[in-house]
Each structure stands twice: as C-alpha cells, then as structure tokens.
Amino acid sequence: MEKTETDQKRGSYHHGDLRAQLIEATRRLVESKGPDHFSVSEACREAGVSTAAPYKHFKNKGEMLREVAKGGMQRQHSQMMAELEPHPPGSIDRIVALGRVYTRFAAAEPGVFRLMFGLSEDHDEHEELVQMGDQIFSDVQKEVAKCFDRDEVTESDVNKAFLLWSFVHGLSFLQIDGKLTKTDMVIDHEKVLAEVAHRVMNEPGS
C-alpha cells in the first residue's frame, strides 16, 4: 500500500521535531491566510499530524501564535544586528540600517509582522514577548546615543528612538497594506529612510 504524504511526514519526525514542525506550519498559515484566520486543525493538516498532536506541546491556539510571533521577533532582531556590522559605531548609516531591516522584514513576512503587533489575546502580558520587544527598542536607543558619543542613554535619545520607530512602523504598514501602490508618488525607500534619520538626529540631509 502506497504511503500518503501525511504518512511520510509522520514517519520523518524525530524526537523534538514535532513542536518545531507545528510552529513552522502555523507560520506558513499566518503568512498565507493572516493571523486572524489561522486554525489549529489547519496547522495539523499542514504539518501532517493528528489534531491531538499540538496539545502535547502547546496549551492552546494562542500559544502557537505567540511562538510564531516570538520567532519573528528573534529573526528581525538578528537581521537588525547583522545589518549594523558593516557600518562604524556612532554613524548615521547604522540608524538607516535599522530602519531598512525593519521595513524589509515587514515586506518579507507581512503576516508574522502583523501578528507581532496585533495578537488579540494576552500577548502584551506575555513576559517573554514584552522583553524581546523592549530589547529591540533598547538597542535602537543605544545606537542613537552612540551617534552623540554617549555611553548612557538619555531622555533625548529615547525620544529620538521613538520618533524613528514611529516612522518606520508607519511606513511598514503603509507598505504591506498596499497604500504606497495607490499613489502617484515615486517612493525611494532608501532616500526616505536616510532623510528621516538625518532629520531626527538633527544632521543635514544627504
């Protein structure tokens, strides 16, 4: 008797793989259908497992979605840190690099990006997610402080970091919501990111 694709998936699991497989299946569904239309049963079909399988690893649907959001935040943070490497500490190029990664990640993973900021349950009370978000914003604040040769973050640095985040966050949603394609303006993201960085940091534009 020929094995089905589901049978083959089940037979390929090793110890510990199932949890990761279910998270990846959830991520794919979030990207294809959006976080509001995800169901556990669909994730099971996508992963090729029984509908009882997720509950060996997750308490509920919300926990599966939080794991996907956590993975997205980890990837975004890693990409931001990698993008900083070619640029000298304290340079405005590092500020632009952070914005570049932020908007690029949103474009590459719009479903996960929406999930990271729009979970409908208690994500804002989930300590690990809150800490990860705080870490990303803290790193932006530190980069701002470095541009002014400061080792300690000041209130001014926090305010500038907030302005930068507000801009790239709004730009990201304009982008993934398709708003930028509905305008006659030609948007050069790199130039816009650079101009905003220079303006917020009170430096002459390029």
Q: What is the CATH number of the domain that holds 2?
A: 1.10.10.60
pTM, two decimals, is 0.83
For residues 190 and 115, membership in a common domain is answered with yes
Residues 22 and 103 in one domain: no
Whether the CB-CB separation of 106 and 100 falls below 8 Å is answered with no
Do 80 and 101 reside in the same domain of the chain? yes
Residue 92: which CATH number? 1.10.357.10
Residue 144 near residue 97 (C-beta atoms within 8 A): no
What is the number of structural domains in the chain? 2
For residue 17, tell me if it sits in a domain: yes
Size (the chain), residues = 206
Give percent of the chain with pLDDT exceeding 70: 87
- Residue 75: inside a domain: yes
Residue 169 placed within a domain: yes
Given this model, what pLDDT does residue 173 score? 94
State the DSSP code for 109: -
The answer to whether residue 205 is domain-embedded is no
Average pLDDT on 85-98 reads 96
Parent domain of 41? 1-58
76 and 162 co-located in one domain? yes
